[in-house]
Structure 1
Amino acid sequence: MESRDQDNGASIRKLNVQMLGKLLVIAVLMFGFGYALVPVYKKICEVIGVNILTPKDVTVEDVKNTQIDKSRTITIEFDANAQGPWRFRPTVASMQVHPGEMAQVMYEVVNTQERNIDAQAIPSYAPQQATPYFKKMECFCFKQQTLGPNEAKQMPVVFFIDPALPKDVKTITLSYTFFEIGGPGKKSS
């Protein structure tokens, strides 16, 4: 009887060791599958052209914007209003662009005070119907600006005009109001 219990115990241990081996193999395979999933997914996406996570190097010559409407020219006028202790102006009064064409204009601001100033710019457009068609890629108006004492900054606006702009719009005015946040009594960092 005792020998049978020992045989059963040995056979249960043997089965447990086999089960542990199988579970370890499954765990290693699952880890390997999870580890390999990301590169396999990237490769599949690259091959079928969906959700490309690893774009190839592209040169300027490779990029051809077919959305530029060269048959139309829009005049963009630039305006600046200062509500605070500084000088604020665009570096050019106007420019002409084709709808869909990327363009850049610089605005210049000079803090005339002996203290730091926190400021923000708010854009407005005329005619108002042009607002949804004026697409800014980069703009100093996206975030608050901090100007040191007597500091001057050149701040870019990179934009394009959506080709869907109504045909009757020939001129757009981009105007910024630059104002101090917190006022002169606020302690700036």
Structure 2
Amino acid sequence: MNTVKKARRLGLVALAMFGFGFALVPLYDVFCDITGLNGKTASTAAMTAQGVDEARLVTVEFVTYQHTGLGGEFSPSVRRLAVHPGEMHRVDFTVTNPGVDSRVLRAIPSVSPGRAAGYLRKTECFCFEEQPLDGRARAVMPMSFYVDEALPADIEVFTLSYTLYDISEQAAGQG
């Protein structure tokens, strides 16, 4: 009897661990939304700005990374930009594919400090969609944005970073 009780308890513990693991991603997303951690930006276009706060300047820094083994170059046209909240800006990002094979790329954005992410409004961004790139090709990918005027006054500088991934295999599996 004692062995049967232990087996049931272990089975219940394993089932509870599986359930917790399954629920972890949605719980993490809720936690990040509440606390402003993780710096996730919106994955859809924002509406245009309503007004410009010319009395205030915010510095936006742009950083790019490439997933290991991607090769080529991925860089913004500017590294820093001083913007007035509410003012529209465009920054171009250049990517090259030194290989002969075509690729499908995906850029994942992040903002630091994370609580600034909710105030970055992208009206156009290459990160909204997959980006096909032919072999030995170069592409200029635009990102248009404004900083919401409601950005807390203590945030004077924030960093928008993009990490570029080759998702060619996943994209081929979808087609």
Q: TM-score, length-normalised on structure 1? A: 0.62
Partner residue, 1:151: 137
1:125 aligns with 2:111: yes
Write out per-residue CA displacement over residues 130-177 of structure 1, whole angstroms, 9 at most, x where no aligned residue: 001000000000000110011101111000000000000000101000
* Equivalent residue number for residue 58 of structure 2: 74
Cα distance in 1 between the residues matched to 2:117 and 2:50 = 23
- 1-structure distance, mates of 2:80, 2:111: 14
For 2:62 and 2:128, how far apart are their aligned partners in 1?
Answer: 17
- Cα drift, residue 91 of structure 1: 1.3
Report SS of the residue matched to 1:70: coil
Distance 2:63 2:165 in 1: 14
Counterparts of 1:91 and 1:68 in 2: how far apart (Å)?
24
CA distance in 2, matches of 1:182, 1:148: 11
TM-score (norm 2): 0.66
Structure 1, unaligned stretches of length 5 or more?
1-64
**Aligned residues with identical type, % of pairs:** 37
Q: For residue 99 of structure 1, what is the amino acid of its counterpart?
A: P
Q: How far apart, CA to CA, are the structure 2 residues paired with 1:133 and 1:153?
A: 28
Bigger Rg, structure 1 or 2: 1
SS of corresponding position for 2:118:
helix
Structure of greater relative contact order (alpha carbons < 8 Å, 6+ residues apart): 2
Give how far 1:119 is off. Answer: 0.8
Task: Determine the structure 2 residue equivalent to 1:169.
Answer: 155
Cα separation, 2, equivalents of 1:77 and 1:139? 16
Cα deviation code 1:54-78 (max 9, x no counterpart): xxxxxxxxxxx76111111000100
What is the distance in 1 between the residues matched to 2:87 and 2:131?
Answer: 28
Structure 2 portions without partners, runs of 5+: 1-48
Deviation sequence 1:100-129 (CA, Å, 0-9, x none): 000110100000111000110010001101
**SS of aligned partner of 2:62:** strand
In the TM superposition, what is the alpha-carbon distance from 1:183 to its structure 2 partner?
A: 4.9
Paired residues, what number?
123
**Aligned partners of 2:103 and 2:168 also within 8 Å:** no
1:136 is aligned to 122
Q: CA deviation at 1:94?
A: 0.7
**Equivalences for 1:31-70 in 2 at 5 Å?**
67-70=51-54
Aligned residue identity for 1:111: N
User: What code does the residue aligned with 1:104 have?
Assistant: R
Runs ≥4 residues deviating over 4 A: none
